[in-house]
Amino acid sequence: MALTRRHLLALSGASLLSPALIGRAVAAVGGMDLPIPDLWDLGADSAPKLDAIAARTKFLQGQETVTVGYGQGYLGPVLRMKRGATARIDLGNKIKETISVHWHGMHIEGVQDGGPHSPVHPDAVLHAALDVDQPASTLWYHSHIHQRTGMHVYYGLAGMVFIDDPDAADSGLPKTYGEDDIPLVVQDRSFEAGGQMNYAPRGPSRMMGYRGNQILVNGAIQPRASVPKGMVRLRILNGSNARIYHFHFEDGRAFHQVASDGGLLPAPIEKTVLTLAPAERVEIVVDFGNAKAARLLSFPDTNMGMMGGGMMGMMGNSASPQAVAAGDAFEVMTFDVNSSKTGAVKKLPSILAGAPTPDFDEPVRRRQFNLQMMGGGMMGRMMGGGHGMSINDASMDMGVINEKITKGETEIWDVSADEMKHPFHVHGLSFQVKSMNGRDVPYNSMGLKDVVLVDGTAELLVKFNRTADAKTPYMYHCHILEHEDLGMMGQFTVS
């Protein structure tokens, strides 16, 4: 049986509040200081303990909200690991619900991956020893229990991972954590009048993915960050269940993308708008040298398929944050410049030293992956009956291995999306997007990825250098978490 909101609240010891009525989601006031997560350096010498815990967190003035988090009330610390070393950590569970810790984006063995076959049961401890061997990058971790991932992440079981490569050349980018190198976990959430999070996907919000009407960054509603004058590196994770963001600054200023999921790009790319799908990460460098405050906005998410956005609030959640600018753009957060502090980097390098290069051979085969929403009857799926979503006509089955991959061989995976855009994620590697809708994608425009937003078709180059057996296989799935929980996921081995 899938975890319910009533179940989670009972597990936390909170009193149950009545479900929110239509139109009763509360409006919140933002503007608090941006929280900076604690930074934990992991190595082989010791294994700190990271517990999943339940808590009451203050998002709204004068109210407490039931949440869960890793080592804290909501979300978790940033975990920093080094390439070429083993990162050890003990994963505990202090809530009465089985969880996991999936290391999203890490190139590790299936037995280390932390997917649904690696549960951490209540009051248990799982010792993780992660053999880190991949380029410097920004990754994340989150619970990944089948049919429970959406709720677990929504209530706070997620955090960021930084991979450092001590042998790589200096990129020349800002690197003082929390000052000019800042992690940003961006999420949308809805709150009831009593202050509790409202997660009750049904109807269109079950089909199209669950969206909230409040924007949180590092667990604070529309916060303000103080940054030094000069170049600032922002590591952004779209930690939302379903929302696609189109980030831009209110004053129209340009910024430079310097990294994607799998690490640095060969060279910075200037942009004014950046689209980020669920589970994607990006690193950008923003020049605050003019000392002027800047408000980060996003255009609305229009990825609603044939149902459209009009029914979302009627059948599950209040989907749209309040518009504050042209194009119905809404506020994400604000940056204030502290002119008494100057960033260490004055000029962005034209070439990013230490950027990874693709390592793919001639492909030996093709595989097809069709992400499907229509199997099993749409109305039944909308109202909660059955799984209904699938890949290649098969819904996720924990006992079925869908694909068998040979280690070290390069393949082409052809991925097609049904009805709407789907962020497609593959465990255990970084892939290269070769083409989208038949058009070639230059490597330097996207870099290495582990999530790609498929709008039609995408052609991926994949090569697995780690193994996964049938007891702890890797996953491929849509990273709209409601789609994943409804069965748009498959399993594969590598040997």
Query: Which option is the CATH number for 181-342: 2.120.10.30, 3.55.10.10, 3.30.750.24, 2.60.40.420?
Result: 2.60.40.420
Second CATH level (architecture) for the domain 365-494: Sandwich (2.60)
Q: What is the pLDDT of residue 79?
A: 98
Distant-in-sequence, close-in-space partners of 113: CB < 8 Å, separation ≥ 6: 102, 103, 106, 427, 428, 468, 472, 474
- What pTM was computed for the model? 0.93
Phi first, then psi: give them for residue 337, nearest 5 degrees.
Answer: -95, 125
**pLDDT by residue (tens digit) across 216-247?**
999 999 999 999 999 999 999 999 999 999 99
Q: What does the domain layout of the chain look like in residue ranges?
A: 5-164, 181-342, 365-494
Residue 31 pLDDT level (bands cut at 50, 70, 90): confident
What distance in Å separates the CA atoms of residue 337 and residue 326, rounded to the nearest whole number?
25
Q: Residue 27's pLDDT is what?
A: 54
Q: How far apart are CA 377 and CA 251, in angstroms?
A: 46
Each residue's pLDDT tens digit, 112-129: 999 999 999 999 999 999
Higher pLDDT, 367 or 62: 367
pLDDT at 36: 98
Mean local confidence (pLDDT), 94-102: 97
Region 187-201: what's the mean pLDDT?
A: 94
Please tell me the least confidently modeled range out of 49-58, 189-198, 300-309, 341-350: 300-309
CATH of 5-164, one of 2.60.40.420, 3.30.420.610, 2.60.40.10, 3.40.50.300: 2.60.40.420
Predicted confidence band of residue 381 (pLDDT cuts 50, 70, 90): very low
For the chain, give the mean pLDDT.
Answer: 91
Q: Which range (25-29, 189-193, 309-313, 433-437) has the least confidence?
A: 309-313
pLDDT of 36-46, one tens digit each?
999 999 998 88
Give the model confidence (pLDDT) of 385-444 as tens digits: 445 799 999 999 999 999 999 999 999 999 999 889 999 999 999 999 999 999 999 999
User: What pLDDT was estimated at residue 265?
Assistant: 98
Q: Which of 28, 398, 421 is nearest to 188 (CA)?
A: 28
pLDDT confidence bin for 192, thresholds 50/70/90 = very high
Beta-bridge partner residues of 337: 227
Residue 383 pLDDT > 70, yes or no?
Answer: no
Would you place residue 382 in the very low, low, confident or very high pLDDT band (cuts 50, 70, 90)?
very low
Q: Which tens digits make up the pLDDT trace of 60-97?
A: 999 999 999 999 999 999 999 999 999 999 999 999 99
CA angle 455, 463, 111 (to 5 degrees): 100
- Rounded to whole angstroms, what are the CA distances from 255 to 38, 63, 252, 270, 431? 27, 37, 10, 6, 25
Read off the amino acid at residue 188.
D
- Read off the DSSP letter of residue 23: T
For residue 196, give every residue at least 6 positions away whose Cβ sits within 8 Å of its Cβ, in sequence order, or none.
Answer: 9, 14, 17, 65, 66
Q: Quick check: 199 pLDDT over 70? A: yes
- The arithmetic mean of pLDDT across residues 284-295, rounded, is 96
